[in-house]
Every structure is written in structure tokens, then in C-alpha cells.
A and B are shown apart, each in its own frame.
Chain A
């Protein structure tokens, strides 16, 4: 039972344009949401997060939006750069310190 879903396995975007990665979840008890970036042969690294009490968090080129009523969050990267090419995982945490991950979206930024 996949509680966190990333329905797009891959995404290609032109350099300089906006990348939008989407994530849906099913458990309304999740209180914290995160995005991780993963390069080949490395573990996931934290990118940006958002608490369930907020609807937007911004950090430089990265913005995460949370729509609790739709149980949906998205990551916006603007402008996209070739170095952003990686696999992006969405994750959600419940109050029991358990994290649930999506299957990832492979982003390719084309120079």
C-alpha cells in the first residue's frame, strides 16, 4: 500500500525553464513533507521541506507547495539548471517518526 505516490517516473525540461515535480499522499496524519534529491551511487540528500501547517516554503530556486485538501504537494525549480538533473523523491513523515517515500521522478534538464 503506497502511501506516497509520484506518478511521473521521468521529466525533461529545458535549461532555464521551470521544473514541476508532483507528489500525492493518502494519509491525512502526515505532518511533515520533504523532497530529496538523489544522484547515482549516492544516498538521497535533503532538499526542502514543509510542515503541514504551511502551504508554501521557498528556498532559492526551490519552492514546495502543499495542498492539504487535495493531499498533494509539488516542487518547483526555477530556473532549472543542468546540475539539477537527478532523481527526486517525495517523502512524508507521521508523528511516529516514520518516513514514507514515493518511487521518485527522474528529472533531466537539457542544456
Chain B
């Protein structure tokens, strides 16, 4: 059973045309993450939601925004995609652990591969 679902798996957009990637989860996890992974590079954390609290990484471009309307869904909006934004975008979830109880991991979706023409 799919636990973290990303749609679509492949997305093609035009330079400058806004695009939205979606992620849903059936795990009821309170933390959701978006990563960008370019070829042969490490997945790079863009931002994460701790419940409804949005946490942006310092070096995430302003071009990237996110919405989390409820526990199950999280969206990545790229307002004006550039050629450099072509990448695999990975969504992940985890269940928050209190300090000292670090036992949980992240569960990843299959990713959405974004192509910018």
C-alpha cells in the first residue's frame, strides 16, 4: 500500500510557467518535507512542515513556496521555474519525536521528475 504518494511522477513545464507538485500521505505523520535532488547530488532539503508550522531552509530560493492545507497533503509551488530547477523533487514524512526519543525515520514518496523547457 502506497504510504507517501506524489503526483504527477513526471512533470514538464515551460520556463517561467508556474507549476505545482503534490504529495499526500496515509501515515498521519505530523512532519512533511520537500527535497530537491539533482543528478548525482544529495537530496537537498528545501523546507519542512512541523504540523502547520512552516520551516524554510535559509538557502531555499524565494521561487519555491509550499502549502499544507491539512495533515495529509502538502504542495510545492514553483512560481517561475528556471532551467536550473529541473530536478527530482522528493516528498517525505516523519513522525515527530521528542528530544531524547530519536527513533523515527522518514518515509519517501517516489518523487516527481520536473523538466523545464
Contacts and interface: CB of A to CB of B under 8 A. Distances in A.
A97 B94 contact: yes
Given A43-B4, A98-B48, A103 B110 contact: no
A99 B110 contact: no
A88 interface: no
B87 to A, nearest CB: 14
- Size category, B interface: 20 to 34
A65 interface: no
B102 A43 contact: no
B108 A102 contact: no
B33 to A, nearest CB: 7
B14 to A, nearest CB: 24
B38 to A, nearest CB: 10
A32 B110 contact: no
B108 A44 contact: yes
B31 interface: yes
Interface of A: 2, 4, 9, 31-32, 34, 36, 41-46, 49, 51-52, 89, 91, 93, 95-104
16 contacts: A2-B42, A9-B40, A34-B105, A36-B108, A42-B111, A43-B6, A43-B90, A43-B92, A45-B108, A97-B31, A97-B55, A98-B45, A98-B55, A101-B43, A101-B44, A104-B42
Given A36-B108, A99-B106, 6 more contacts: A2-B42, A51-B102, A89-B43, A97-B31, A101-B42, A103-B41
